[in-house]
Amino acid sequence: MVGYIAQQLVNGLILGSMYALVAIGFTMIYGIIRLINFAHGDIVMIGAFVTLGLVISGQIPFPVIIILVILAGALMGIIIERAAFRPMRGAPQVTGFITSLAVSILLQNLGILLLTAQPRNFFCPDYLQTVFNLGSVSLRTIDLAIVVIAVVLMVFLVLLVRFTRLGMAMRATAENLKVALLMGININRIIMLAFAIGSGLAGVAGMMWGARYGQIDPLLGFVPGLKAFVAAVIGGVGSIPGAMLGGYLLGFAEVLFVGLLPPIYSSYRDAFVFIILILILLVLPTGLLGRKMEEGV
């Protein structure tokens, strides 16, 4: 039993790592331009396909693939921001929200058009499939890699935001766009950077998603996008540590729910996720680590 719970906790850690990576981008973009970006999940899909393309195209070493996937995600984020969201800057929040839905539908259908809706097997090189046992917990190399990569990236991001001049400018811009502009901060660059970082992380999450589930299709972004949204809201939208916390909480909650309750309930796990969300928002309307809402600008 202890071994079973340990295995479930490890599974929660893996799932949580993916949710956290996607939630970070969600929260960063909301934090800076108050945009609820429903196209964010589709970057996960793009990351998964880019990874697959790189893996089958030849002998590219795994660390290089990771970097290329991050760059591809970041580039996608920059393009989307430039093409879709920048023209909508200053428009009401709802307009941005609807724009993001449009971008999401566009990306999904482009995916179907170019790649067909047929799910594809996600090839994982053999050395990533090696199973090893830690006591009663069994892990594949890729599972370990998922957790390690996620943690390294998150530590890197926190250090960037906390301790660098750029991070300071990002925090300032997130708090007060107008005054940041008066400090001489190039707002467009900061917004672009938030999209690039957030989408880069979502791209890596796509790689992990494919490796974990073994099959990918152009519509796979919906579920991680939605879960990341929930994770970001649980943690407090706009707070990066909140998104991480929310992601891991959600990962653990989901896995434990499925793992510990009788199997007939396991198909209700998404309902369960939303019940958690509702309960947390009832008690803490701004999420676990969210700031008090400032008045509308």
Partner 1 sequence: MLEVRDSHAYIGQTYVLKGVSLEVRHREIVALIGANGAGKTTTLSTISGLTRSRRGKILFRPDPDATQRDITRVPAEEIVSMGISHCPEGRQVFSDLNVWENLLIGAYLRKDKQAIQSDLQWVCELFPILGDRRRQSAGSLSGGEQMMLVIGRALMSRPRLLLLDEPSLGLAPILVEVIFEMLEQINAQGTTILLVEQNARMALELAQRAYVMETGRVTLSGTGRELAENEEVRKAYLGAT
Query: Does 185 interact with partner 1 (rule: CB under 8 A)?
Result: yes
Query: Does 154 interact with partner 1 (rule: CB under 8 A)?
Result: no
Nearest distance, CB of residue 30 and partner 1, angstroms? 15
Out of 64, 79, 179, 279, the only residue in the binding site for partner 1 (CB under 8 A) is: 179
Nearest distance, CB of residue 34 and partner 1, angstroms? 16
Picking from 262, 249, 201, the residue whose alpha carbon sits closest to that of residue 69 is 201
Determine how β-strand 120-121 pairs with β-strand 215-216: antiparallel
In the structure encoding, which two tokens stand for residue 195, read together? 């999209």
Please give the Cα distance from 121 to 55 (Å, whole number): 12
Please give the Cα distance from 74 to 290 (Å, whole number): 26
Q: Is 122 helix (H, G, I), strand (E, B) or coil?
A: coil
Distances (CA, A) of 258 to 24, 263, 276: 25, 7, 14
Query: Does 186 interact with partner 1 (rule: CB under 8 A)?
Result: yes
Query: Does 168 interact with partner 1 (rule: CB under 8 A)?
Result: yes
Query: Does 86 interact with partner 1 (rule: CB under 8 A)?
Result: no
Please give the Cα distance from 270 to 266 (Å, whole number): 9
Query: Does 120 interact with partner 1 (rule: CB under 8 A)?
Result: no
Residues 276-295 that bind partner 1 (CB under 8 A): 291
Q: Number of residues interacting with partner 1: please give it, by CB under 8 A.
A: 17
Query: Does 184 interact with partner 1 (rule: CB under 8 A)?
Result: yes
The answer to whether 244 and 154 are in contact (CB under 8 A) is: yes
Nearest distance, CB of residue 132 and partner 1, angstroms? 43
Nearer to partner 1, 126 or 294 (CB): 294
Residue ranges that bind partner 1, judged by CB under 8 A = 165, 168-169, 171-172, 174-176, 178-179, 181-186, 291
